[in-house]
Amino acid sequence: MHTGNPSGPIWFSVGEASGDLHGAELMKALKAADPALTFTGMGGPAMEGEGLESRHSMREISLVGITEILGGLPRILKLLGVIKGELAEIRPRAIILVDCPEFNFRIAKMAKKLGIPVYYYISPQIWAWRSGRANFLREFTRKVICILPFEKAFYAKYGMDVEYVGSPLMDVLPLDRLDRMAVHGNRIGLLPGSRRKEVTALLPVFARAARLLAGDHPDLEYVLVRAPGMDESLLRSLWPAEIPVSFVEPDTRYETFRSCKLILAASGTVTLETALIGTPVAVAYKVSPLSELIGRLLVNVKYISLPNLIVDRELYPEFIGKEATPENLAATARKWLDDPKAYAAVKAGLGGLRSMVGEPGAPGRAARIILDDLLSLNG
């Protein structure tokens, strides 16, 4: 029995920067289809810019790694209690969950009890680990909407017919304009992550790699793209004063990615953005030793970065846990700076990726799926 309020707002539950971006695009598409819609819940600055009445900041749940999530558990449980009360009071027309399964699965359970229809946009990466959670999604959501080409086949193994709409990045990235921009041969980009834990683990490693490169490449310049809400003074405190770095705001990040010869990046959605733009990236990922051990036991994919998963080979070199060393990152950077053939090979591999992630229009296709299904419920 569905008891969402047909004239109520749509509740979004988003927990990180990439979800905020995709949530904002979906809101835009939903408003285009039905200008009377209103939105509330948890999101970030991009969604607020599209009219989200934000009840909770996504920063309240932006944790990374299993042990880190356990440490923040009391706070998160309190927040879930508050949200449960709000959902019961507001009775939203629907709930749209974006990624963040550890948090959003709990929201899905609450919604089911309240009879509010749930749609999962940007399906959580359960193909990577704990794949049995597909059974949870079958029970607690109306529709799962996927954006990666290999996800439909994965869900089919669990008897689920999910909706594949293609990557919303094809709508967000101004590729025609970016393709015409020049690349600076001595510029290295730095993307240490969007969460404090990631940044404090990775930026010192990137800094030591820069020190190693300074010996034989003294002319390199570094540019760091600050994630939304990330404190610039923290970033400065983790970077050596003697190595020049400039800080760039997130709203010009795509132009910055394109201008770089190469980038050192934390694993995440950003690796697909850089790949579609065509910039070689060395991917690093560091969590606590316990998280890493648990992760290695549970993960069922060969790669952690989306470009590698989509093409099913290592386009971007990945350095995980103990492998994420200044020496490894500096060696990769050196290879791309000094060996034109090695650099051209990565660029050529990235060239085929755009045709594999779907045509533009993904947010519009997702909006149509959700609104048509709501219509069928209320019809």
Both 91 and 215 in one domain: the answer is no
Confidence check: pLDDT of 128 > 90: no
User: For position 149, which CATH number holds?
Assistant: 3.40.50.2000
Both 95 and 211 in one domain: the answer is no
Average pLDDT on 320-327 reads 92
Q: For 13-29, what is each residue's pLDDT tens digit?
A: 998 878 898 999 999 99
The count of structural domains within the chain is 2
Give a yes or no: residue 104 inside a domain: yes
Both 157 and 285 in one domain: the answer is no
- What's the pTM value of the predicted model, to 2 decimals? 0.83
Both 66 and 162 in one domain: the answer is yes
Give a yes or no: residue 249 inside a domain: yes
- Two structure tokens written together for 369: 């799926």
Give a yes or no: residue 5 inside a domain: no
Give a yes or no: residue 299 inside a domain: yes
Give a yes or no: residue 3 inside a domain: no
Give a yes or no: residue 2 inside a domain: no
Q: For 252-271, what is each residue's pLDDT tens digit?
A: 999 999 999 999 999 888 99
Range of 96's domain? 10-168+361-378
Contact 230, 16 (CB under 8 A): no
Phi and psi dihedrals of 265, rounded to 5? -135, 150
Both 371 and 294 in one domain: the answer is no
Both 371 and 349 in one domain: the answer is no
Give a yes or no: residue 187 inside a domain: yes
Give a yes or no: residue 256 inside a domain: yes
Both 293 and 224 in one domain: the answer is yes
What is the per-residue pLDDT for 268? 83
Paired residues of 187 in beta bridges: 221
Better pLDDT: 287 or 120: 120
Both 186 and 327 in one domain: the answer is yes
Q: How far apart are CA 259 and CA 182, in angstroms?
A: 6
